[in-house]
């Protein structure tokens, strides 16, 4: 390609030299037209590319713009981020807040770090735990040995964020992989210490207590570090994976407990039925006692009333009243003798009533009159 360009340039030089030697070089036309060396050929206009002193300023401005674009002496920090300014390899103590910041190219550099809430899922199946999404990490479940040495798998979710106030110090001390150096080791260490105190069988019943202890342990460990590198949002215990034999044993215990509870419920139900029947019997007995008491009270009241009546009657009886009653009875007997002349009359001694008369025709028949 270079050889072809050289040949083309050589041919053009030969052509123009030939024309010049023939007197047909290009020059300005006096009449405003163009012509050859003999006055008949075309002439090329002479163009002046010199723009004067202003061209240097324009070229300088253009060069500066290109330099600024290529060097990029500024950076923009988005919301939810912080900028770590490095000057000749040394981090500035104060992180850059969201906004536009100017820097010195080559000498200064800005490292952008994320301060939004991040999540780590500790799960047995990492592909199902949301790993790979923005701000969500996936780690294997924490394997722990219980009090008796049985393996237990703990699945949990940890939410945290970089402490923006000490972001520069955190990156300076721990580097950009500070999460793997702080959060992950602390979580695994705390989980092993907490769960290792219990038997595998008791873990499901102690779930809430264990979750509280893990949250407190991780929070205290992370915030207790120098400059509090991370703000722990929450530690959520999701699943406690037990060995198969332990699960079967727990299921048997649960079934036994359910049977005992059912038996206790049956006993309580029987007791309630017995109490109900006893209450009903007591109610019936009480009812009968009340009715009997009512009858007795009624008889007593009637007897008292009759006794009081007899007392009043006895007080009201006089000799003349008795004689009058005797005369009334005697009159009744007389009326009876008129009907039955065979009847016999027996008078009680003293003339007191009642008197008794007997029908002689029917000795079995007796009649008394008051």
Q: Which DSSP symbol is given to 116?
A: S
pLDDT tens by residue, 308-348: 887 877 777 777 777 777 778 777 777 777 777 666 666 66
Question: Global pTM?
Answer: 0.52
Mean pLDDT on 112-123: 92
CB contact burial 253-283 (16+ within 10 A = b; e otherwise): eeeeeeeeeeeeeeeeeeeeeeeeeeeeeee
Of 135, 130, 131, 142, nearest in space to 159 by CA: 135
Cβ proximity of 93 and 167 under 8 Å = no
Mean pLDDT on 127-144: 75
Position 25 confidence tier, pLDDT thresholds 50, 70, 90? very low
Mean pLDDT on 33-60: 55
Q: Which residue has the higher pLDDT, 5 or 255?
A: 255
CA pair distance 354, 79, nearest whole angstrom: 128
């Amino acid at each position: 390609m270079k050889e072809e360009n050289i040949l083309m340039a050589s041919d053009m030089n030969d052509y123009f030299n030939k024309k010049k030697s023939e007197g047909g070089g290009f020059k300005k036309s006096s009449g405003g037209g163009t012509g050859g060396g003999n006055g008949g050929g075309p002439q090329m206009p002479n163009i002046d590319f010199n723009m004067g002193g202003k061209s240097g300023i324009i070229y300088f401005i253009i060069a500066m713009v290109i330099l600024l674009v290529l060097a990029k002496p500024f950076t923009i920090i988005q919301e939810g981020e912080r900028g770590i300014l490095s000057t000749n390899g040394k981090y500035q103590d104060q992180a850059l807040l969201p906004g536009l910041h100017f820097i010195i190219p080559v000498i200064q550099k800005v490292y952008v770090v994320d301060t939004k809430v991040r999540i780590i899922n500790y799960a047995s199946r990492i592909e199902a735990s949301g790993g790979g999404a923005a701000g969500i990490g996936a780690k294997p479940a924490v394997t722990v040995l219980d009090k008796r040495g049985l393996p237990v798998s703990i699945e949990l979710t940890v939410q945290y964020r970089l402490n923006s106030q000490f972001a520069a110090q955190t990156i300076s001390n721990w580097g950009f992989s500070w999460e793997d150096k702080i959060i992950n080791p602390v979580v695994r260490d705390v989980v092993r210490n907490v769960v290792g105190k219990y038997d595998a069988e008791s873990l499901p019943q102690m779930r809430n207590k264990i979750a509280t202890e893990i949250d407190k342990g991780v929070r205290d460990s992370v915030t207790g570090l120098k400059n509090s590198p991370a703000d722990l949002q929450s530690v959520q215990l999701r699943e406690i994976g037990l060995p198969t034999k332990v699960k079967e044993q727990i299921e048997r215990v649960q079934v036994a407990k359910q049977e005992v509870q059912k038996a206790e419920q049956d006993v309580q139900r029987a007791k309630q039925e017995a109490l109900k029947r006893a209450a009903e019997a007591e109610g019936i007995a009480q009812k009968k006692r009340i009715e009997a008491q009512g009858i007795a009270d009624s008889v007593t009241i009637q007897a008292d009333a009759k006794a009081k009546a007899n007392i009043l009657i006895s007080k009201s009886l006089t000799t003349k009243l008795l004689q009058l009653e005797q005369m009334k009875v005697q009159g009744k007997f007389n009326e009876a003798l008129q009907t039955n002349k065979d009847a016999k009359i027996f008078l009680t001694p003293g003339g007191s009533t009642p008197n008794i008369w007997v029908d002689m025709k029917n000795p079995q028949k007796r009649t008394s009159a008051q």
